[in-house]
């Protein structure tokens, strides 16, 4: 594993993907929790096999991929089924993330996790970086990007830790209310700081 692991998080529409891409342009390797979560239920994976055994084969599409809509139906309003699914997948996801971080070779690496604090993934990293914008901007950006209603966006915002909670827990914060050029300068400044920290560990 590279010396230093930074956990990158931010609410929906905050711009964390843009921030992650700038770090990647600077030569830093990324591990994305959302991508890992998809990989551990890919065709032929032990995770998907166990899910199909538990819920039945109707949980699969005709091409043997996971039918996420059907899975949501099964766990919606059934807390015990959601708990079962989380108990199965969270350890598998965590193990795979650590394996991928272990294989990174850049001076430091970044774990992208929208629910970094909510899922306790901040315990796996050395520093946490929050991309912060106001809830109003979250709603506006997400409505435009995903063509969803303000109510739908608000439900997602409400399901995540509050802005105040995340701000209180983050080691570093990028204020993303401005232009992309300003954002890049902020990322470069953090990048230089993380390089120094990685040399000291």
pLDDT digits (tens, 9 = 90+) for 21-42: 999 999 999 999 999 999 999 9
pLDDT digits (tens, 9 = 90+) for 94-127: 999 999 999 999 999 999 999 999 889 999 999 9
Q: Rounded to two decimals, what is the model's pTM?
A: 0.87
Nearest-angstrom CA–CA distance, 106 and 43: 30
Q: Who's near 74: CB < 8 A, 6+ residues apart?
A: 55, 59, 81
116 close to 14: Cβ distance less than 8 angstroms: no
Specify the pLDDT at position 104.
95
Is the model's pLDDT at 53 over the cut of 50?
yes
User: What phi and psi, each to the nearest 5 degrees, are found at residue 148?
Assistant: -120, 165
DSSP 165-183: HHHHH-SEEEE-SS-HHHH
pLDDT digits (tens, 9 = 90+) for 147-165: 777 777 778 778 788 889 9
Outline where 103-179 has alpha helix (H): 135-146, 150-159, 163-169
For all residues of the chain together, what is the average pLDDT? 90
* pLDDT tier for residue 44 given thresholds of 50, 70 and 90: very high
């Amino acid at each position: 594993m590279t010396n230093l692991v930074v956990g990158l998080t931010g609410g929906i529409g905050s711009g964390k993907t843009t921030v992650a891409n700038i770090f990647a342009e600077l030569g830093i390797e990324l591990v994305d929790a959302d991508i890992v979560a998809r990989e551990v239920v890919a065709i032929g994976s032990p995770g998907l096999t166990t899910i199909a055994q538990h819920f039945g084969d109707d949980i699969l599409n005709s091409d043997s991929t996971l039918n996420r809509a059907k899975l949501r139906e099964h766990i919606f309003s059934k807390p015990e089924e959601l708990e079962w699914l989380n108990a199965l997948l969270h350890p598998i996801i965590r193990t795979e993330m650590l394996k991928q971080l272990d294989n990174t070779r850049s001076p430091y690496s970044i774990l992208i996790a929208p629910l970094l604090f909510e899922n306790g993934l901040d315990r796996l990293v050395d520093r946490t970086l929050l991309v912060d914008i106001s809830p109003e901007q979250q709603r506006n950006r997400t409505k435009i990007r995903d063509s969803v209603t303000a109510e739908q966006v608000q439900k997602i915002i409400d399901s995540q830790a509050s802005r105040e909670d995340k701000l209180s827990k983050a080691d570093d914060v990028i204020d993303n209310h401005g232009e992309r050029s300003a954002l890049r300068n902020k990322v470069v400044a953090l990048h230089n700081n993380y390089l120094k920290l990685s040399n000291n560990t």
